[in-house]
Amino acid sequence: MNSSCLFCKIIAGQIPAKKVYEDDHCLAFHDIHPQAPVHVLVIPKHHWESLDAVQPEDREILGHLLERTAHCARELGVANTGYRTIINTHAHAGQEVFHIHVHILAGKPLGRMVSA
Ligand code: 5GP
Ligand code: ZN
């Protein structure tokens, strides 16, 4: 728990969120400013600032996070039509919240990957 982190506050229940899935290690909830008909964020309960902060010993929990992301996509009913997962890291990727999170974007054809 990082007391100045928005997503840690959501995990702690101090800020409300529309939850999709929760277990001991991760939480999924709808993005407050959806960029697609389905836009869900999947986060670990452990506070890592970004993908750049993870270490080899974190592999198991990050593997769990990714597997649960796929589970959420199936539960949201978008797995068959398809979805995009994004992890923004640091400034050039536009990371705004410094608690690692996986975006699930879906619900319509998303076009090509973001422009470079
Ligand atoms: P980033 O740009 O860091 O990859 O993505 C941060 C995401 O968090 C953005 O898509 C933004 O809309 C979302 N977000 C920011 N504040 C809140 C909030 O208070 N609640 C929820 N549900 N999403 C938020
Ligand atoms: Zn945090």
Which structural domain range is residue 89 located in?
6-106
Count of structural domains, the chain: 1
Q: Considering the chain, what is the average pLDDT of its residues?
A: 96
Question: 113 lies in a domain?
Answer: no
- Who wins on pLDDT, 18 or 1? 18
- The C-alpha atoms of residue 40 and residue 103 are separated, in whole angstroms, by 6
Residue pLDDT, tens place only, 26-68: 999 999 999 999 999 999 999 999 999 999 999 999 999 999 9
- Of 20, 38, 41, which is best to mutate to test ligand 1, by the most ligand atoms within 8 angstroms of its C-beta? 41
In a domain, 115, yes or no: no
* Å from CA of 8 to ligand 2 middle: 4
- Provide the CATH number for the domain around residue 74: 3.30.428.10
Ligand 1 centroid to residue 100 C-alpha, Å: 11
Residue 111 included in any domain:
no
Give the Cβ contact number of residue 94 at 10 Å.
10
In a domain, 55, yes or no: yes
Asked whether residue 114 is assigned to any structural domain, the reply reads no
